[in-house]
A = this chain, B = another copy of it.
Amino acid sequence: MHVAVLGTGMVGQAIAGRLADLGHSVVVGTRDPQATLARTEPDQMGNAPFSAWRDAHPEVEVATFADAAARADLVVNASSGAATLEVLGLAGADNLAGKVLVDIANPLDFSAGFPPTLSVKDTDSLGEQVQRAFPEAKVVKSLNTLTASLMVEPRALGESSTVFVSGEDATAKATVVELLESFGHDDVIDLGGIETARGTEMLLPVWLRLMGSLGTGHFNFKVVR
Residues of A within 8 A of B (CB): 117-118, 121-123, 157, 159-161, 164, 189-192, 196, 198-200, 202-203, 205-210, 212-214, 216, 218-225
Contact, CB under 8 Å: A196 / B222: no
Contact, CB under 8 Å: A205 / B122: yes
A78 to chain B, nearest CB (A): 21
Taken together as a complex, chains A and B put the C-alpha atoms of A164 and B158 apart, in Å, by 23
Q: Give the nearest-CB partner of A219 in chain B.
A: B225
Given contacts A200-B206, A209-B196, contact A224 B190 (CB under 8 A): no
Residues in B whose Cβ lies below 8 Å from that of A190? 213
Residues in B whose Cβ lies below 8 Å from that of A203? 202-203, 206
Residues in B whose Cβ lies below 8 Å from that of A117? 122-123
Mostly helix, strand, loop or mixed at chain A's interface? mixed
Q: How many monomers of this protein are in the complex?
A: 2
Given contacts A189-B213, A213-B192, A214-B189, contact A161 B224 (CB under 8 A): yes
Contact, CB under 8 Å: B219 / A191: no
A211 to chain B, nearest CB (A): 10
Residues in B whose Cβ lies below 8 Å from that of A222? 161, 221-224
Contact, CB under 8 Å: B192 / A212: yes
When the two chains form the complex, which single residue of B157, B202, B219 contacts A206, counting CB atoms closer than 8 Å?
Answer: B202
Residues in B whose Cβ lies below 8 Å from that of A196? 206, 209, 213
When the two chains form the complex, which single residue of B123, B161, B191, B212 contacts A213, counting CB atoms closer than 8 Å?
Answer: B191
Residues in B whose Cβ lies below 8 Å from that of A192? 209, 212-213
Contact, CB under 8 Å: B198 / A210: no
Given contacts A121-B122, A205-B199, A206-B203, contact A219 B223 (CB under 8 A): yes
Q: Give the nearest-CB partner of A121 in chain B.
A: B122
When the two chains form the complex, which single residue of B157, B200, B202, B207 contacts A224, counting CB atoms closer than 8 Å?
Answer: B157
Contact, CB under 8 Å: A224 / B221: yes
Residues in B whose Cβ lies below 8 Å from that of A220? 223-225
